[in-house]
């Protein structure tokens, strides 16, 4: 028998950097600490209703992890430059929402190295450290450059992408902790391999725009996982509105059941109930 714990519109899970990471599920106004449910049988039921996480209107389809189509087309936070920051058009005067750009793009960002499904380069706002790393399922991470704007972070990341991955293989990430990496060694190698291009960016944009961080500390991240899946099978609430199983772990924004995994962030705006079984 299923006992409902909470119900409401899904939001990205909240995280706290502890040992292990502390996860909180957000359903409407309800906040449910998830770590205590490890090893228990749970059920998620999609009610069939989706509401935009920005304007609240009902939508038949979610765009960009939780937005209705009008908001997806209108909001700066849904623009293509969010995925490709090197294409930022704020300086050209064509930003969809210049005030949003002032608050989110024209602020300090970090270019970082992380070990997710292997070593990768990434970028994040300073206020999103270490949240961004946890959301990606990183077990190690460290900033390597501080930059003055999102555009500059994208330019530095583009230089690095010729030498290192910039994507996470989520299936590999969910199969285990992965082998530890020497991020400092990678940082030093990239500094040498990319020296010419980085120097050119600094000459173009100024010393204060891009600052190396050779002495930054590495962050190690431990996730609340009892057992990783041998084979990763992903649930789709649009096709299977009821998901159940024993909660074996949480990593990134994924719940790991013994029956499959589900990316909760993907279903932002979906009205879902969480129940305990038995």
259 & 144 share domain: no
Residue 224 in this model has a pLDDT that exceeds 80? yes
Are both 200 and 93 inside the same structural domain?
yes
- Count of domains forming the chain: 2
User: Which of these three, 189, 217, 245, is where a domain ends?
Assistant: 217
Tens digits of residue pLDDT in 91-110 = 788 999 999 999 999 999 99
Residue 71 CA, chain-centre distance (Å), reads 21
Is the domain of 228 the same as that of 267? yes
Residues 230 and 213 in one domain: no
Based on the fold, state whether residues 84 and 208 are members of the same structural domain: yes
Percent of the chain exceeding pLDDT 90 equals 96
pLDDT for 90: 86
Contact 177, 226 (CB under 8 A): no
Whether residues 96 and 213 fall in one domain: yes
Digit-coded pLDDT (tens) for 249-268: 999 999 999 999 999 999 99
Indicate if 113 and 230 belong to the same structural domain. no
Residues 144 and 166 in one domain: yes
For residue 45, give the 3-state DSSP assignment: strand
159 and 212 within one domain? yes
Provide the pLDDT for residue 278.
82
Q: Given this model, what pLDDT does residue 11 score?
A: 98
Cβ-proximal residues to 86 (8 Å cutoff; 6+ apart), any chain: 151, 154, 155, 157, 158
Residue 249's domain spans which residues? Answer: 2-66+223-277
Q: Taking Cα atoms as reference points, which of 221, 219, 116 lies closest to residue 170?
A: 116
pLDDT tens, residue by residue, 110-140: 999 999 999 999 999 999 999 999 999 999 9
Q: How far is CA 104 from CA 82, 101, 204, 221, 270, in A?
A: 10, 5, 23, 26, 26
Q: Are residues 16 and 88 in the same domain?
A: no
Whether residues 79 and 174 share a domain: the answer is: yes
Instruction: Give backbone dihedrals phi and psi of 264, rounded to 5 degrees, phi first.
Output: -65, -35
Alpha helices in 143-215 (DSSP H): 150-161, 170-173, 183-193, 195-205
Digit-coded pLDDT (tens) for 165-177 = 999 999 999 999 9
**pLDDT tens for residues 33-87?**
999 999 999 999 999 999 999 999 999 999 999 999 999 999 999 999 999 999 9
164 & 80 share domain: yes
Q: What is the dihedral of CA 265, 262, 157, 64, to 10 degrees?
A: -40
What pLDDT score does 93 carry?
Answer: 87
Average pLDDT, stretch 28-33?
A: 97
CA terminus-to-terminus distance, the chain? 5
130: preceding bond cis by omega (within 30 degrees):
yes
């Amino acid at each position: 028998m299923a006992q409902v714990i909470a119900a409401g519109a899904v939001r990205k899970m909240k995280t706290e950097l502890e040992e292990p990471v502390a996860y909180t599920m957000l359903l409407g106004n309800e906040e449910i600490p998830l770590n205590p449910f490890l090893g228990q049988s749970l059920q998620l039921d999609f009610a069939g209703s989706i509401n935009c996480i920005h304007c609240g209107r009902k939508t038949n389809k979610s765009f960009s992890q939780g937005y209705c189509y009008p908001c997806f087309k209108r909001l700066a936070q849904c623009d293509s430059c969010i995925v490709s920051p090197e294409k930022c058009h704020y300086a050209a005067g064509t930003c969809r929402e210049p005030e949003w750009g002032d608050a989110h793009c024209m602020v300090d960002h970090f270019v970082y190295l992380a070990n997710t499904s292997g070593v990768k380069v990434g970028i994040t706002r300073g206020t999103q450290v270490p949240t961004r790393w946890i959301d990606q399922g990183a077990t190690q991470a460290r900033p390597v450059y501080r930059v003055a704007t999102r555009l500059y972070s994208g330019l530095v990341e583009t230089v690095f992408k010729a030498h290192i991955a910039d994507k996470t293989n989520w299936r590999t990430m969910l199969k285990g902790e992965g082998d530890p990496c020497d991020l400092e060694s990678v940082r030093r190698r990239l500094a040498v391999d990319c020296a010419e291009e980085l120097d050119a960016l600094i000459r173009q944009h100024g010393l204060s725009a891009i600052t190396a961080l050779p002495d930054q500390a590495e962050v190690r991240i431990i996730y609340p996982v009892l057992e990783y899946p041998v084979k990763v099978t992903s649930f789709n609430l649009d096709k299977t509105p009821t998901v159940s199983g024993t909660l074996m772990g949480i990593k990134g924004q994924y719940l790991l059941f013994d029956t499959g995994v589900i990316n909760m962030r993907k279903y932002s705006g979906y009205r879902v109930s969480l129940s305990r079984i038995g």
